[in-house]
């Protein structure tokens, strides 16, 4: 089962998590140093809901929470 919203098509996005150590120059330190960069993925918040489709049938679909809150999905 893929991590894609069936309404808006929202899917995972690639990014990085950056680890910094040290004291900032603003606070009197020597500055922040990057000590590690790891690849990560930002996942959409998908929920499996029982929804009514436009043709009138009912089906379980994977939908992001933004589509549920904005009313793009009518729950069965």
Hey, what are 55's tokens? Answer: 């043709």
What does pTM read for this prediction?
A: 0.74
Whether 6 maps to a domain, the answer reads no
Beta strands at 46-52 and 33-42: parallel, antiparallel or unpaired: unpaired
Whether 48 maps to a domain, the answer reads yes
Whether 18 maps to a domain, the answer reads yes
Q: Tell me: the pLDDT tens digits for 4-26? A: 999 999 999 999 999 999 999 99
Model pLDDT, residue 4? 96
Mean confidence (pLDDT) of the chain: 94
Whether 62 maps to a domain, the answer reads yes
Among all chains, which residue has been given the structure tokens 């933004």? 66
Contact in structure between 41 and 13 (CB atoms under 8 Å): yes
As for how many domains the chain has, the answer is: 1
Q: What is the domain range of residue 23? A: 13-70
Residue 59: CATH number of its domain: 2.30.170
Distance CA 43, CA 60 (A): 20
Whether 8 maps to a domain, the answer reads no
Q: Span 56-71, mean pLDDT?
A: 94
Model pLDDT, residue 54? 83
**3-state secondary structure at position 34:** strand
Model pLDDT, residue 68? 94
């Amino acid at each position: 089962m893929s991590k894609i919203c069936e309404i808006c098509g929202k899917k995972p996005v690639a990014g990085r998590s950056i680890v910094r150590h040290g004291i900032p120059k603003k606070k009197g330190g020597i500055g922040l140093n990057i000590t590690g960069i790891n690849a990560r993925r930002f996942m959409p918040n998908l929920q499996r809901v029982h929804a009514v489709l436009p043709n009138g049938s009912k089906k379980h679909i994977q939908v992001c929470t933004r589509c549920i809150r904005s009313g793009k999905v009518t729950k069965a």
